[in-house]
Copies of this chain bind each other. A is one copy, B any other.
Amino acid sequence: MELFYACECDGAVCRLDAEESGHCVRVLRHRAGDEIHVIDGAGTMLRCRIVEDSPKGVEAEILETFPGWGGHPYRLTVACCPTKNNDRFEWFVEKAVEIGVDVIVPVIGERSERRVYKPERARRIALAAAKQSLKARIPEVTDPVGVRAFIEQDPAALKLMAYCFEGEQERRSIKDVLQGYEGTDISILIGPEGDFSPEEARLAIAHGYIPVHLGTSRLRTETAAVTAAEAAYFRYM
């Protein structure tokens, strides 16, 4: 099933941007009158008929709408420190979108080796992964933000922090904490290769974060982030 992303939708008509239009008309050779499937990026899939087959801007008449198409029964924010090797973070973005995530926040911690992060590529990966995994909602990849700033404004109902410091702080497994949670609005904070600083951890706990562990395996940052997304996926499976 081929999906296109509509940059613009009103009630009756949607439009594809130049890149999607070129793919639709030049590569897949769709013409006016063809039926195509379009996502609005906000959760709705649209069955459409092409009325304007310009490779610069396809316009299509909306025949049927499928709200909540390819959605999941929870809202998950994963705030993760970008890895030194950018490919590893982008791999996490692709996999988290396939599994099911709503917001990805690149956070910069005191001990982050990568202090600068440009989200444009990750946003393109999120769009491609949403289309490939048949989801009408494209998860948001926010601009990078400091760990402290994220902690101070995180609105999630259940806030988890995967915190590696041994001993110092009692931790439950993410599985147990999610099992005991009746709601569906979750955020999880994943630290950099060098972990959070004690100050960051104290600030998070002061803001209601629950320190959790991800099991006995020692996981890379991007593997921890994907494992957190899998924990939510299995919790609501």
Contacts and interface: CB of A to CB of B under 8 A. Distances in A.
A134 B227 contact: no
Q: How many copies does the complex hold?
A: 2
A60 B233 CA distance: 46
How many A residues are at the interface, by size bracket? 20 to 34
Interface in A185-237: 215-220, 223, 226-227, 230-231, 233-234, 237
A173 interface: yes
Contact of A91 (B91, B218, B219, B230): B91
Contact of A230 (B134, B218, B227): B227
Contact of A218 (B134, B215, B217, B233): B134
B175 A98 contact: no
Contacts of A100: 217
* Residue with the greatest number of chain B CB neighbours at <10 A, chosen from A72, A95, A215, A234: A234
Nearest to A219: B98
23 contacts: A70-B218, A72-B217, A98-B217, A98-B218, A98-B220, A98-B223, A99-B219, A99-B223, A99-B227, A100-B217, A132-B220, A133-B217, A133-B218, A134-B218, A173-B237, A175-B237, A215-B233, A215-B237, A217-B233, A227-B230, A227-B233, A230-B234, A231-B234
Given A100-B217, A215-B233, A226-B226, 10 more contacts: A70-B217, A72-B216, A98-B220, A99-B223, A99-B227, A133-B217, A133-B218, A173-B237, A227-B233, A234-B234
